[in-house]
Amino acid sequence: MLLRKKIQYGRPGSAILDADAAGMRPENLVEVRNLQTHFFTDRGIVKAVDGVSFAVPKGKTIGIVGESGSGKSITARSLMSLIDPPGRIVSGEILLERQDGQIVDIARLDPFGSEIRAIRGADIALIFQEPMAALSPVHTIGNQIIEMIQIHEDLDDKAARDKAIDMLRRVDMPKAEQRIDAYTFELSGGMRQRAMIAMALACRPRLVIADEPTTALDVTTQATILDLLRELQSRDEMSVMFITHDLGVVAEIADEVAVMYLGRVVERGPVDDIFEQPMHPYTRALIRSIPKLGVRGRHRLEAISGMVPHPSNRPQGCPFHDRCPEFMPGVCDRIVPPLEKIGERRDVSCLLHSDVEALKAASEQETTSDE
């Protein structure tokens, strides 16, 4: 693992950018541009994230939606430069506005350097899916929360402990003074996730990445944890990147949505637009496959035909074409659709909404110039 240092990370050039040069919009906290994270395995390159672009607005929640294998978790990890070998970020930009207004390109930072370590936990924090596995089984939750505080803040043991108890109270942990000395196996699933959230929020990060934080919980606990996250977000004005496969959860918590398919963002926009006017056939299929309460009838729940292809076996052209009900032969299997802006904070990557002729001409020109 330490060997990774020998590989040249990022690309030449400074990771700290001028605000004007970066061209970031002031309402955004994070802008991800054409991010590519690939895994260099013995059996070939797996393009887990292959050209992802989206923005996280300040103080808002963005839901990242996709099936298993769509690259949403790898995208989240890329944002903290936490990619295990043989994977690494190969290109693209992850621009983050730090607390002091400085703009940093995380994709250019050494994943073992002190700059990224100062960002992890302080600017961006992670909440994981399975708190039982994501917290150490042999350390108390207090130990792990206090450690987080003491990495980033110059507090003595007593002050850090008081702060940790205070954090546990803020996430509505009952009997926080005693529970701080509890081990994870002594807590219920909901309480473990509260402890995880308390740890993530301990240093008041500006962005919290929640990677399916409610998947492992029962439905009632799920609802209370979602309420808690929403309440904490509005109180602290932090941004949340909520990763899930559950569109119902997204509708409830997100302000904006990015739909991912096979390592790419296929559609993004404000949550109401996405649900009322989905533009991409994949988004439409996802919305149709939500079970609806109160709809009587014997008809079966709609499912999307086929399976997500393995990222190492990506179809030519549009990655969704072999499952798409609106597949255009000769077009969708040839041309890779670009992410096109179709409105304010609204993009879609589908040839139904692109100027196909222009793209064809461009790709032909490319092939002739290659020859």
Nearer to another protein, 151 or 352 (CB): 151
Applying the rule CB under 8 A, the residues between 297 and 326 that interact with another protein are none
362 binds another protein (CB under 8 A): no
Q: Which of 99, 112, 237, 365 binds another protein (CB under 8 A)?
A: 112
Q: Which of 13, 26, 101, 137 binds another protein (CB under 8 A)?
A: 137
185 binds another protein (CB under 8 A): yes
Q: Which of 135, 229, 232, 348 binds another protein (CB under 8 A)?
A: 135
In degrees and rounded to multiples of 5, residue 281 shows phi and psi of: -55, -30
119 binds another protein (CB under 8 A): yes
Q: Which stretch binds another protein (CB under 8 A): 62-70, 135-143, 276-284, 340-348?
A: 135-143
CB of 108 to another protein, least distance (A): 18
198 binds another protein (CB under 8 A): no
CB of 111 to another protein, least distance (A): 9
Nearer to another protein, 126 or 250 (CB): 126
CB of 195 to another protein, least distance (A): 11
204 binds another protein (CB under 8 A): no
CB of 82 to another protein, least distance (A): 6
Site string for another protein, 144-173 (x = CB under 8 A): ---xx--xx---------------------
Nearer to another protein, 208 or 266 (CB): 208
Report the candidate in 206, 236, 332 with the shortest Cα–Cα distance to residue 228: 236
Distance CA 293, CA 219 (A): 15
CB of 140 to another protein, least distance (A): 8
Distance CA 103, CA 188 (A): 40
Nearer to another protein, 164 or 351 (CB): 164
Nearer to another protein, 137 or 297 (CB): 137
Task: Provide the binding-site residues for another protein, judged by CB under 8 A.
Answer: 1-3, 77, 80, 82, 84, 112, 117-122, 125-126, 128, 130, 133-139, 147-148, 151-152, 183, 185-186, 199
